[in-house]
Amino acid sequence: MKESPSPRIGILVVAYNAETTLEKTLDRIPEDFRSRIDEVLILDDASHDATFTAGCRWSQAEGMPRTVVMRHTKNLGYGGNQKAGYALAAEHGLDIVVLLHGDGQYAPELLPEMVAPIERGECEAVFGSRMMTSGSALKGGMPMYKWLGNRVLTRLENGLLGSGLTEFHSGYRAYSVAALKQLPIDRNTDAFDFDTQIIVQLLNAGMRIKEIPVPTYYGDEICYVNGMKYAKDVVKDVLEYRLAVKGFGTCPWIPKPVDYAFKEGDGSSHAVILEKMRRLPPGRVLDLGCSGGLFAERLESLGHEVTGVDYVEVPGVRERCTHFHLANLEEGLPADIGTGFDYVVAGDVIEHLSRPERVLAEVAGVLRPGGRVLLSVPNFSHWYSRLRVAVGAFGYDRRGILDETHLRFFTRASLRRTVRAAGYDVLDLASTGAPFWSLLGRGPLAAVLGGMSRLLTRIRPTLFGYQHVALLTPHAAETIIAGEHVDVQDILNRQYVPADRVGV
């Protein structure tokens, strides 16, 4: 059996005004480990001293690993320097990259221990923690105020993220380059809280982090971190993430889920539509914006035959739908979608279209006579969006009424106008309460607020309704012409009416 090749290991050295410490730090890399290093990347972040010269001098010494020394002509910031380094590591085909500070604050002697868990496949990231061994940080010279701030912030961050790290603020880290490629680190801050954002991204992606104890070194190096600003930034990052997963704000450095998480009976628009579908006889359903097919799966279990349409193919969707079409509804319905559908479902879809009237008109053409359309839209006149506008704090969210991907906003009145202009009669128009369960979980507070929201929605849906759910049918008025029933639409489609067919 052929052995797999050893991973290519790189050391990323971030340096700023580190002329006096850089070479001493690099000299501490264990000699028996140097042969395993494929490349050392020294990135001088526009230092004002001779850091770049020191790096070049070390790289040319006898017996050193292959070394690339780069100097940015403009200061990129602590996070920006890391972004440049990780991009270079990926470009050079490295498998593991270790972040090492050029000021000697972290122990190069432990590089073998830093990469070992990733080599064994135990995790995607290794953090050197100064807090794992009780009392070692203070013995190593960490000032009491920094030690206390580290402990308080780490505890707060663990509580908000549900993690169990002993330290969030160590700059000694090793990463799988393949894992870094999966994270949108290019969207991260260029400041010192870059390290916190990358932890959040790893946890959000379900990646594994392993900690090892490392000693603490505090010398006479200059600290460029503004402690109060840093504390504010890392707390803001974690809170921004927590709000983002609940749908508030945009948080560009956290990927947005491709599919929606449908929960039956949660009071959402899809749950309301499903309840309406339970009372209708089984038939052929066209599910527009079917996402991963979770809603379609429920319809199939009720005896319906579902054809799903979406502009992305979420894994598993073809197993949950009888048929699936990959298509962008902004360009209209797919030409080969078929006709004769008993029902068309458009749950939270038309607000994403620049011309929803066009798609709704096309939908009428694929319905059988007497077919039904069930659609839902967020209510822009809900108190939440009204309040945001009133206080001058309008902005987009990751989902909900102010979803950043919405192209059209609807109120109850504008929804009626839109569907009537598209040729539909409104058979029923209901409104859902606000989804407090999504923000607060399934606890008693969410239940109480949810009950109040439903009551207020019944009293005044235009203000308290979170979403409007409509049941529609194509306008099918008939008239009598020369003794026969003719669909009005047939008349409109004719270029002329012969004189002998004028109504009596």
> pLDDT truncated to tens, each residue of the chain (504 aa)?
445 679 999 999 999 999 999 999 999 999 999 999 999 999 999 999 999 999 999 999 988 999 999 999 999 999 999 999 999 999 999 999 999 999 998 999 999 999 999 999 999 999 999 999 888 888 888 889 889 999 999 999 999 999 999 999 999 999 999 999 999 999 999 999 999 999 999 999 999 999 999 998 776 666 677 778 999 999 999 999 998 888 888 889 998 877 666 655 567 888 899 999 999 999 999 999 999 999 999 999 999 999 999 999 999 999 999 999 999 999 999 999 999 999 999 999 999 999 999 999 999 999 999 999 999 999 999 999 999 999 998 899 988 899 999 999 999 999 999 999 999 999 999 999 988 877 777 788 888 988 899 999 999 999 999 999 999 999 875 545 555 555 555 544 444 344 443 333
For helices 227-245 and 144-161, give the axis angle rounded to 10 degrees: 0
Q: Which two tokens stand for residue 451?
A: 């009950």
In angstroms, how far apart are the furthest CA atoms of the chain?
A: 107
Pinpoint the alpha helices (H) of 322-443. 356-366, 383-390, 412-421, 436-440
The whole-model pTM stands at 0.78
Measured between alpha carbons, how far is 466 from 319 in angstroms, rounded to an integer? 32
CA nearest 470: which of 350, 389, 352?
350
Q: Which amino acid is at 30?
A: P
The per-residue DSSP string of 339-381 comes to S-EEEEEEET-GGG-S-HHHHHHHHHHHEEEEEEEEEEEEBTT
Within 10 angstroms of residue 438's Cβ, the number of other Cβ atoms is 18
CB-based contact 347:377 (threshold 8 Å): no
Q: Which residues contact 135 (CB under 8 A, 6 or more apart)?
A: none
SS3 258: coil
Task: Tell me the DSSP string of 100-155.
Answer: EETTS-S-GGGHHHHHHHHHTTS-SEEEEESSSSTTHHHHTT--HHHHHHHHHHHH
Q: Hey, is 74 helix, strand or coil?
A: coil
Angle between helices 194-204 and 227-245 (to 10 degrees): 20
CB contact set of 336 (below 8 Å; sequence gap of 6+) = 325
Q: Which of 87, 42, 78, 72 is nearest to 185 (CA)?
A: 87
CA angle 223/225/228 to nearest 5° reads: 130
* Distances from the Cα of 422 to the Cα of 298, 417, 425, 426, angstroms: 29, 9, 9, 11
End-to-end CA distance of the chain: 92
d(CA 460, CA 66): 71
Neighbours of 334 (CB within 10 A): 14
Separation CA 10–CA 352 (nearest Å): 44
Residue carrying the six token digits 């409509």: 470
DSSP-assigned beta bridge partners for residue 209: 125
Q: Would you say 421 and 363 are in contact if contact means Cβ atoms under 8 Å apart?
A: no
